[in-house]
Amino acid sequence: MRKDAAVTENRKASDLKYQSLKKILKKLGRVAVAFSGGVDSTLLLKVAKDVLNHNVLAITAHSETTPRHEQQAAICLAEEFAVPHIFLQTDEMNMPEFVDNPPDKCYICKKARFRSMLKLSGEKGYAHLLDGENQDDQDDYRPGSRAAREMGIRSPLRDAGLRKMEIRLLSRKLNLCTWNQASSACLASRIPYHTLITPEKLRQVDAGEDFLRELGLSSQVRVRHYGDTARIEFDTKAISKFAENAVRSRVVEHFKSLGFRFITLDLEGYRMGSLNADIE
């Protein structure tokens, strides 16, 4: 199949799934959306608003594990869509079973977060709580997804069969600023399993990633925290720029000011869930 014909087919497929998504949302009637401000939940919130109008609430979980730039993005997008928006303070950092950092910590966290969100949304009269899980998420290790299924959380993007590239395509078509936004995850995902999660480590990771994004080398950035060592993951196309003396010196200086003694660059580049390779 020629490239232009393949593009046309992909657009047709995503358009059909978009229509399916709208039908799913219409049947749900009155919904609360677990809203992070990322690519997936932003499309979900936008379409829910378009379909259900005033019958939509955005709920954003907030804790020390949440990157600061995501919090601000969530505020701005909810205001742009004119959707009522509530920040819900969560307390996973007070849960020993979470901070011990087992491989299923996302299950522990999501279970607690969804429990609080369900209570809040129910009190405010919203019949369903939705998350932004998509079809591709089933191919990754995501214990948080198990928590969602157990608690009856609905995933309309996944139910409509939408994959990440289709979500980006539809987001661009709807003029959403998130269409080419980098993938995101909670800050605790940067700390190797069975290594204690602490507020200090989370702050170091958040400050390091903010600094790297400000350099403009790559939108996709991860700082993996190994005690006194930071392992930096970029898109591979940014590695040559990172190695330039002026850039490298700035990075080293900044990361040492954050408390790291050793600063390393992963030559494989960014990989989603790279720490999952440690799971036996």
Q: Are residues 150 and 219 in the same domain?
A: no
Q: Are residues 22 and 53 in the same domain?
A: yes
Is the pLDDT at 71 greater than 80? The verdict is yes
Which is it for strands 262-265 and 221-226: parallel, antiparallel or unpaired?
Answer: unpaired
Candidates 194, 204, 181; CA nearest to 70 is 181
Q: What is the pLDDT of residue 11?
A: 76
pLDDT, tens digit, 9 for 90 and up, residues 232-274: 999 898 898 888 999 999 999 999 999 999 999 999 998 876 6
pLDDT, tens digit, 9 for 90 and up, residues 52-64: 999 999 999 999 9
Least confident span in 11-20, 87-96, 106-115, 245-254: 11-20
Q: What is the pLDDT of residue 111?
A: 94
Least confident span in 14-23, 38-47, 266-275: 266-275
pLDDT, tens digit, 9 for 90 and up, residues 112-162: 999 999 999 999 999 999 999 999 877 666 788 899 999 999 999 999 999
Candidates 57, 63, 72; CA nearest to 112 is 63
Does residue 179 form part of some domain?
A: no
Instruction: Specify the pTM.
Output: 0.90
Which DSSP letter does residue 277 get?
Answer: G
Q: Are residues 242 and 112 in the same domain?
A: no
Q: Are residues 160 and 201 in the same domain?
A: no
Does residue 153 form part of some domain?
A: yes
Q: What is the 3-state secondary structure (H, E, C) of 211-270?
A: HHHHHCCCCCEEEEEECCEEEEEECHHHHHHHCCHHHHHHHHHHHHHCCCCEEEECCCCC
Q: Are residues 164 and 200 in the same domain?
A: no
pLDDT, tens digit, 9 for 90 and up, residues 181-227: 988 889 999 999 999 999 999 999 999 999 999 999 888 999 999 99
Confidence of residue 7 (pLDDT cuts 50, 70, 90): low
Q: What are phi and psi of 57, to 5 degrees?
A: -130, 135
Q: What is the pLDDT of residue 226?
A: 97
CATH number of the domain bearing residue 248: 3.30.70.2210
Query: Rounded to whole angstroms, how far apart are CA atoms 279 and 76?
Result: 37
Starting from the edge strand earliest in sequence, which strands make up the sheet with 85-89, in order?
85-89, 56-62, 31-34, 128-130
User: Of 173, 197, 217, which residue is a domain's last?
Assistant: 173
Least confident span in 10-14, 21-25, 102-106, 182-186: 10-14
* Token pair of 220 as six digits: 């996709």
Does residue 180 form part of some domain?
A: no
Does residue 265 form part of some domain?
A: yes
Does residue 42 form part of some domain?
A: yes
Q: Are residues 128 and 81 in the same domain?
A: yes
Candidates 59, 3, 6; CA nearest to 32 is 59
Quick check: 86 and 120 in contact, CB under 8 A? Answer: yes
- How crowded is the C-beta side of 180, counted as CA atoms within 13 Å? 4
Q: Are residues 203 and 160 in the same domain?
A: no
User: Of 146, 173, 200, which residue is a domain's last?
Assistant: 173
Q: For residue 174, what are the contacts with CB-CB under 8 A and spacing of at least 6?
A: 43, 46, 47
Does residue 10 form part of some domain?
A: yes
Residue 258 domain boundaries: 187-278
User: Of 173, 195, 219, which residue is a domain's last?
Assistant: 173
Q: Is 195 exposed, middle or buried (0-12, 13-18, 19+ CB in 10 A)?
A: middle
Sign of the CA dihedral running 273, 154, 58, 91: negative
Please report where in the chains the tokens 């969530």 appear, as a residue: 74
Q: What is the pLDDT of residue 271?
A: 81
